[in-house]
């Protein structure tokens, strides 16, 4: 007699809050989450931070001087640096997703490598902007 009995299929359930700390997300998954976070950051900061500062800086020479003095504060520079990181990360990850849409680098190893490249490039560019922003370059 052959063993034709159906084996029970594995059941995958959603993880709970207590399991979140021990769950190991792949690099591409972390990249995807940060891509969404950076997009939301840019979307929310555009009308709240970027456009008002731009409008004030082009209104008159006095308001430009006020914005320049405001932007000299180290805390404001950190906020700007976070916005720069958000833009650079979103841009680099967006290029990766465009390549994935063209079916380039879909296999698991290539996806892991491209996620690492996106993290490396976006963080390296952010470091260059940080050095320039804080006057080291």
* Whether 99 contacts 114, CB under 8 Å: yes
Q: Would you say 103 is a known binding-site residue?
A: no
Q: How many CA atoms lie within 13 A of 90 on its CB side?
A: 14
Residues making up the binding site for heme: 90
Residues making up the binding site: 90
């Amino acid at each position: 007699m052959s063993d034709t009995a159906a084996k029970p299929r594995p059941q995958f359930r959603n993880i709970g809050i207590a399991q979140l700390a021990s769950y190991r997300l792949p690099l591409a998954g972390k990249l995807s989450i940060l891509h969404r976070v950076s997009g939301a950051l840019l979307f929310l900061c555009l009308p709240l931070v970027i456009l008002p500062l731009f409008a004030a800086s082009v209104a008159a020479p006095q308001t430009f001087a006020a914005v320049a003095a405001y932007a000299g504060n180290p805390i404001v520079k950190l906020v700007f640096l976070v916005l720069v990181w958000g833009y650079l990360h979103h841009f680099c990850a967006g290029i990766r997703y465009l390549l994935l849409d063209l079916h380039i680098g879909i296999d698991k190893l290539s996806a892991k490598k491209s996620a690492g490249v996106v993290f490396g490039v976006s963080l390296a560019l952010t470091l260059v902007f940080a050095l320039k922003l804080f006057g080291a370059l």
